[in-house]
A and B are shown apart, each in its own frame.
Chain A
């Protein structure tokens, strides 16, 4: 792997940018591996990286039906925070934030993690009470979160219109360690680092079946590029997880919905932080390229189309225009949808399945990007040791049967 450094950038810059190598190999599938990861998004690529780096698995492949990062990794609004209500969630998401803080160095790849602060607005008495409960719960769990008055929120984000709107801003919860990262760089950075450790990244390879032995354990997958054998298979396929797991007769409590986002034309730096509003439903930040990145809600119905209704995005834009009147004349450049897999309690499922050798990491719903490094780290542990890491031990499939739900519907932030 060619390491990136200030010196290497300078040297290539002075020699016409010649001599750069592809950042990962275009691998052909081998007949067999120690472990397969289905899904080449951030969670899957990260899992392969940690399997190779921390657990010493020499032969790992990532199977991606399209190109890496083409699913929700490349479609989300890149917000990172860990201000979830329950201790289990706060611990898991904060594990991710801590990994985010060192990720660019660890991968030798700039993922442009920017801790610019995430401001979550309260517009009603109920909002304020819920936000304060979150603030107190987070502080008790060692996760930073603080309550700001409306005036303090406006001082933190001067563009914010706190008074002249239908639902005035009464206050806000601020997580200063929250922020954004560059989504594509996360996929590329993990792919490059995993490839350097010998992981095969196999694109345009769709899994069409899961092979099992006489005892029921997995022994490999059928793909559009042939049969690949492996004793361990980890699935990180987001909205399509139900489809993959059904190939092994595993039913999951998931429903897949379209979730839309959109970006404006790029403008000069104007927006200093991330602002989210649950109640009037909008969230917004500005990318380093200058686009306003805006998240809308999910559509009402399940779908696999990767597109949603325009009334959903227009609803989000109406809220943005009320909160930030100066954006009323901005033009939107693109909008798109991703398919998110939502669990009944809005918390992920990370762990073993009833099928030996088959592991699943799914149910991240509308907010999986923020968890990418933490999710990948604990999922790799789970696959390597055939037992959950302490952080993902509560996030089992069995919790729905046993009544141990981790109900984060209020913290998930996207209305669904």
Chain B
């Protein structure tokens, strides 16, 4: 079970959270203007990174807020958590 640091509430056990998939996936501003392939990429293509992965979590059974995290998918270790709207911390991003 993971111990996850909510940027608002501090460290809490994993069952309090819901995983929200890859972070920073931007919805096309004009869906009718993009090609079928671009829309497919938005809907279905994910990085599925083996290494440091930026992802969303929601502290559902806590403050209820979404936040982002950097986690190493080869060890499940969290390198950083940060608030929605913030850029991923550069120092943690390079870690492997």
- Cβ contact within 8 Å between A303 and B76: yes
Interface membership of B87, Cβ < 8 A: no
| Cβ 8 A contact of A311, one of B1, B37, B41, B50 | B1
* Interface flags, B43-60, vs A, CB<8A=1, else 0: 111101110010100000
A-B contact count (CB 8 A): 58
Interface residues of A in 288-320 (CB under 8 A from B): 300-305, 309-311
Say yes or no: B73 contacts A302, CB within 8 Å. yes
- CB-CB contacts of B1-39 with A at 8 A, as 1s and 0s? 110000000000011001101000000000000001100
Check if A324 is an interface residue, CB within 8 A of chain B.
no
B19 and A300: CB pair below 8 A? yes
Residues of chain A within 8 A (CB-CB) of B49 are 302
Taking a contact as CB atoms under 8 Å apart, the answer to whether A304 and B74 are in contact is yes
Expressed in whole angstroms, the Cα–Cα distance for A252 and B40 within the complex equals 11
A18 at the interface (CB under 8 A from B): no
A401 touches B37 (CB 8 A): yes
Determine if A285 is an interface residue (Cβ-Cβ < 8 Å). no
| Given A252-B45, A256-B73, A300-B18, 10 further pairs, Cβ under 8 A | A243-B50, A254-B46, A255-B46, A256-B48, A301-B19, A301-B71, A304-B73, A305-B73, A401-B37, A402-B36
Is A87 in contact with chain B by the CB < 8 A criterion? Answer: no
Q: Is the CB of B15 within 8 A of A311?
A: yes
User: Among the interface residues A242, A243, A304, which one has the most CB atoms of the partner chain B within 10 A?
Assistant: A304
Contacts of B76 in A (CB 8 A): 301, 303, 305
A344 to B48, CA, bound (A): 13
Report B58 CB to chain A, min CB distance, Å.
Answer: 11
A56 beta carbon closer than 8 Å to chain B: no
Q: B36 touching A303 by the CB < 8 A rule?
A: no
Taking the closest CB of chain B, its distance from the CB of A305, in whole angstroms, is: 5
A39 CB to closest chain B CB (Å) equals 15
The size class of the interface chain B forms with chain A is 20 to 34
Answer yes or no: A327 CB below 8 A from chain B CBs. no
* Contact present for A240 and B50 (CB under 8 Å): yes
Return chain A residues, CB-CB under 8 Å to B19. Answer: 300-301
Taking a contact as CB atoms under 8 Å apart, the answer to whether B74 and A242 are in contact is: no
Cα(A310)–Cα(B45), bound, Å: 29
- Cα-based distance from A344 to B45 in the complex (angstroms): 9
Q: Are B44 and A309 in contact (CB under 8 A)?
A: no
Q: What is the minimal beta-carbon distance from A241 to any residue of chain B, in angstroms?
A: 9
Q: Inside 8 A of A402's CB, which chain B residues have their CB?
A: 36
Within 8 A of A (CB), among B56-76: 71, 73-76
A361 to chain B, nearest CB (A): 17
Instruction: Name 23 A/B residue pairs within 8 A (Cβ), A-sorted.
Output: A240-B50, A242-B48, A242-B50, A251-B41, A251-B45, A253-B40, A253-B44, A253-B46, A256-B73, A300-B18, A301-B2, A301-B55, A301-B76, A302-B53, A304-B73, A305-B74, A305-B75, A305-B76, A309-B1, A401-B36, A401-B37, A401-B40, A402-B36
Residues of B within 8 A of A401 (CB): 36-37, 40
Q: Which of B15, B37, B41, B73 contacts A303 (CB 8 A)?
A: B73
- Is A400 engaged at the interface, CB distance under 8 Å to the other chain? yes
Q: Decide: A253 and B45 in contact? CB cutoff 8 A.
A: yes
Specify which chain A residues have a CB less than 8 angstroms from the CB of B55 in the assembled complex. 301-302
Which 5 pairs between the two chains have the least Cβ-Cβ distance? Answer: A253-B44, A300-B19, A242-B48, A401-B40, A309-B1
Closest chain-B Cβ to A299's Cβ sits at a distance in Å of 8
B40 — nearest CB in chain A belongs to which residue? A401
For the complex formed, measure the closest distance between the CB of B1 and the CB atoms of chain A, giving whole angstroms. Answer: 5
Which residues on A sit within 8 Å (CB–CB) of B15?
311
Q: Which interface residue of A252, A255, A302, A344 has the most chain B CB atoms within 10 A?
A: A302
Report chain A residues within 8 Å CB of B48: 242, 252, 254-256, 302
CA distance A302 to B2 in the complex (A): 13
Give chain B residues whose Cβ lies under 8 Å from the Cβ of A254. Answer: 46, 48
**In-complex Cβ contact of A309 among B14, B37, B43, B50 (8 A):** B14
Please tell me if the beta carbons of B18 and A344 are within 8 angstroms of each other in the complex: no
Taking a contact as CB atoms under 8 Å apart, the answer to whether A310 and B1 are in contact is yes
- Closest beta carbon of chain A to B13's beta carbon, Å: 9
Contacts of A252 in B (CB 8 A): 45, 48
CA distance A311 to B55 in the complex (A): 21
CA distance A301 to B53 in the complex (A): 11
Q: Is the CB of B43 within 8 A of A344?
A: yes
Shortest C-beta distance, B73 to chain A (Å), equals 5
- Distance of A236 from chain B, by nearest CB (Å): 17
Partner pick for B14 among A256, A305, A311, A400, CB 8 A cutoff: A311
Contacts of A243 in B (CB 8 A): 50
Q: Which residue of B lies closest to A309 (CB)?
A: B1
